[in-house]
Structure 1
Amino acid sequence: MKLGDLFYETWHALAANKGRSFLTILGIVIGITAVIAMTSLIAGVQNMLMGELGLSQARQVSISAYTSTGMTFEDLDKLKAGMPDYEILTGSAYASAEITLADGQKSYFSLIGVRPDYFAANGSRLKEGRFFTDSEERNGARLIVVNGDFGLQLFGSADVDMLGKSVRLGNDDYTIVGVLETSSFMGGAPLFVPFTTAQTRLDGERSISQIVGFAREDTDMEQLVESTRDYVARYLNVEPENVGVYSLDSAIKQLETTIASFSLLMGAVASISLFVGGIGIMNMMLTNVTERIREIGLRKSLGARRRDITKQFLLEAIMLCVTGGVFGIVFGFAAAWGLSGVVGAVQPGMSLTPVLAPEVVAGAVGVCVAIGIVFGYYPARRAAKLDPVESLRYQ
């Protein structure tokens, strides 16, 4: 039988039972819809998180040392000289000040005193404005860099243009020179002021409370974490257990592993629907074989071979599965966009864009073909083995 004739006969056989065919493929549609929706959303979440972290931030290292004397920037300069794998090694100190809010209420806010290189090491991105300069930091300038979501608290509106406005900290007015992009990782992050300003004007900590490093390109991050812990411990004359070193690279890898595990779990749950759908395909095909015994006998009496009968019924099962898969892909991606809209409504400011990867579509189609072959082979072989004489006599 020619391939064109095979497809023609298959199409007419399925079209003759539209209602039954539709109900049969529902299991496949539901299973593929669940798989596509989950994988698209998970890929979107991964892209969103990676976008927040930034690929370059895999080179970021956070260092905390438990010592009674504390650390200064002079100590950091000496540490950096002994650890050439770091492009930047900087730190920050906490301070607090009374701030007058938009509603007239006064409240104490935490601030972070930093040097300009802290923003580069921490991967901070500007929405507008600039960071303060080295000379402004040394002179204790009354300047602030704020997070993008502070407008509502400080000025009563989330859409206010904060750049250039003044904020009352304690007894002094400070000018906002930079606004950072709002990040779900920073959330309600403190305000940033020059390190010298925090020490001299806001009674900030004299020692550095957190050390942030930014490794040079192509550095082995796992090895750098170990060498950093040992070197800082020797410098401070403390046990390595008293030095905490964490790289964002390990957090990113852990995130990727977690997302991959979650995707596998969701795929396993959705595969139950596919299995049920496959059983439905087999049930329909066995019913078709029973209803078309006389037709099979007639085809065989006219010269149809076993493999022709097998191909016809196998192709019917495959077409059912692929049709269900196509509808499942469309409905799944639509469902992913719908769910992302719900997430955006529930969590304002969170932009989640589903990602439909080509390999996922190819995999879904491949799974549908495999289901058609696995669950359609037995009915097809049963039809092919029917005796033509007995089939023609079947009532």
Structure 2
Amino acid sequence: MRARDLAYETSSALLANRARTLLTVLGIVIGIAAVIAMTALIDGVKAQLVGQLGLNMSRTVNITCWPPGNQPLDQDDIEEIGTALASDYEFVTGFTYTSAQASSSTASLEYLNITACEPEYFQAMGYEAARGRLFDAEESAEGDMVVVLGGSTVKNLFGSPDADCVGQTVRIGSSQYTVVGVVNEGFTYDNDTCYMPAETAVTRLIGQGGYSSWQILGFAREGSDMYAVADATEAYLHDRYGIPWPEEDQTSFSSDEGYVYVQTAQALIDQLDATTATFRMLALAVAGISLLVGGIGIMNMMLTNVTERIREIGLRKALGARRGDITGQFLLESVTICIVGGVIGIGVGYGGAWALAAVAGSALGSMMGASGAISPVISASTVAVATGICVGIGVVFGWYPARRAAKMDPVESLRYQ
């Protein structure tokens, strides 16, 4: 049978029982929509978390090193580490924390968290300027009196999170600083934060209040094996500062003996991947039940079609149709139902994912902030899997009715009333 004739016979058979076909298609639509909606929503949540946590900067390595004898690292040590590990990192930068009172022309803060850092810190953390700009290397080296505001600081100092604060001055401690930008940190934190060039903070603030230790961020070279980079970094720090390696079951460390922690963002991404994969499997299992019900509906419809068309089958066989022709015709009807249902289900599922995302985004708004709206992610692989599922269901649940029709005796079929 020619493909054109086969397609015509298939469409005619399905349109002859529109209500039955529509109800059967609906079962597939519900199943595929459930698969698409759940996977798109889970992937959207993952993408949101990756973006807001800065995990898209998978080349970032967080390094904590406390040498023996309670001797914290300083800026010279960080520069030495960056030179020694230059083959693994594009740069190694340090940062530390302090705090001070702050005020503007309209409001004041008793406690402002200050991150003293270099410009490379923003790149390593994946932070970008939401307004204005970030301070540059020249301003950092010169110890200029500039700051970048983050968190809820703009709202609490200037009265509104959208206030035009760029170019205005704020008093931090006993000095005036110019606001050059507002940083997009991803998550909206409740605490008030700002970022200041390290040289400025050391000169103006840290000398007054002291600090515990410099934290270190490394930005690995593109294409690096992050786990190998982390292992090399840890080995170097243990050897350079004479820090003993922990025992197998050791979970706590003494500051007298020293300790080293090296963590990559890639490790966090892998952990997030494993978690979302688990949720995806659970969602697919639930949606699979709907697809199973839809598949049973297809088999029931096709068995009914075979029974209603016994005389037609006998006539086709009497005119020379082979078993393969009969099998192909009924299988194509089954697969067509599934593909039509799948196409509709993909659209319905994506729309449903947006509706679920709006609900989830509203529920998680306090945690994810104004920029934390969830956008469902539907990938080409998801569509390909959904299409494959549709074809598979059509073949699996249509095979038995198709073979039953193909094995009918033409003489007995023509006698059927």
Task: State if a TM-score over 0.5 links the two structures.
Answer: yes
Which residue is equivalent to 1:269? 286
Write out aligned runs for 1:180-199 (5 A): 180-184=183-187, 190-199=193-202
Q: Is the 8 A contact 2:186 2:371 kept in 1?
A: no
- The one of 245, 262, 265 equivalent to 1:248 is 265
1:32 Cα deviation (Å)?
0.8
Once structures 1 and 2 are overlaid, which stretch shifts more, 145-154 or 285-294?
145-154
1:352 aligns with 2:384: no
Tell me by how many angstroms 1:218 deviates. 3.7
Segments of structure 1 that go 5 or more residues without pairing to the other structure are none
Shift of 1:29: 0.8
Q: Percent identity?
A: 48
CA change 1:265–1:150 in 2 (3 A) is same
Question: Is 1:214 aligned to residue 189 of structure 2?
Answer: no
What SS class does the counterpart of residue 116 from structure 2 fall into? Answer: strand
Say whether the 8 Å CA contact 1:286–1:379 is kept in structure 2: yes
- Matched to 1:155, the amino acid is F
How many pairs align? 395
Mark the runs of 5 or more structure 2 residues left unpaired by the alignment: 247-258
SS for the counterpart of 2:114 is: strand
Q: Give the direction of change, closer, same or farther, for the CA distance of 1:124–1:307 in structure 2 (3 Å limit).
A: closer
Q: Which residue of 2 aligns with 1:27?
A: 27
For the 8 Å contact 1:91–1:208, the answer to whether it is kept is no
Structure 2 equivalent of residue 94 of structure 1: 97
After superposition, give the CA deviation of every residue in 1:120-167 in whole Å (9 maximum; x if it has no partner). Answer: 443332233344455654665432111265322221212212211222
Amino acid at match of 2:162: D
Q: Which residue of 1 aligns with 2:334?
A: 317
Q: Quote the Cα distance in structure 1 between the aligned partners of 2:301 and 2:77.
A: 76
8 Å contact kept, 1:125–1:180: yes
User: What corresponds to 2:37 in structure 1?
Assistant: 37
Is 1:124 paired with 2:127? yes
Distance in 1, matches of 2:192 and 2:276, equals 26
Contact 2:151 2:191 in 1 (8 A): no
TM-score by length of 2: 0.84
Q: 2:171 aligns with which of 165, 168, 172?
A: 168
- Match of residue 80 from structure 1: 82
Q: Which moved more, 1:133-142 or 1:287-296?
A: 133-142
Q: Distance in 1 between matches of 2:17 and 2:321?
A: 23
The answer to whether the Cα contact below 8 Å between 1:199 and 1:205 also exists between their aligned partners in 2 is no
Distance 1:105 1:53 in 2: 29
Separation in 1, partners of 2:394, 2:161: 55
State yes or no: 1:107 paired with 2:110: yes
Q: TM-score, normalised by structure 1?
A: 0.88
**2:147 equivalent in structure 1:** 144
> Contact 1:198/1:204 (CA < 8 Å) preserved in 2?
no
Which of 302, 314, 328 is residue 345 of structure 2 equivalent to? 328
**Contact 2:55 2:269 (C-alpha < 8 Å) held by counterparts:** no
What is the distance in 2 between the residues matched to 1:114 and 1:18?
Answer: 68
Q: CA RMSD in A?
A: 2.9
Alignment partner, residue 368 of structure 1: 390
1:4 equivalent to 2:31? Answer no
2:253 maps to what in 1?
A: none
Per-residue deviation, 1:266: 2.5
For the residue of structure 1 that corresponds to 2:57, the secondary structure is: helix
* Equivalent-residue separation in structure 1 for 2:400 and 2:136 (angstroms): 75
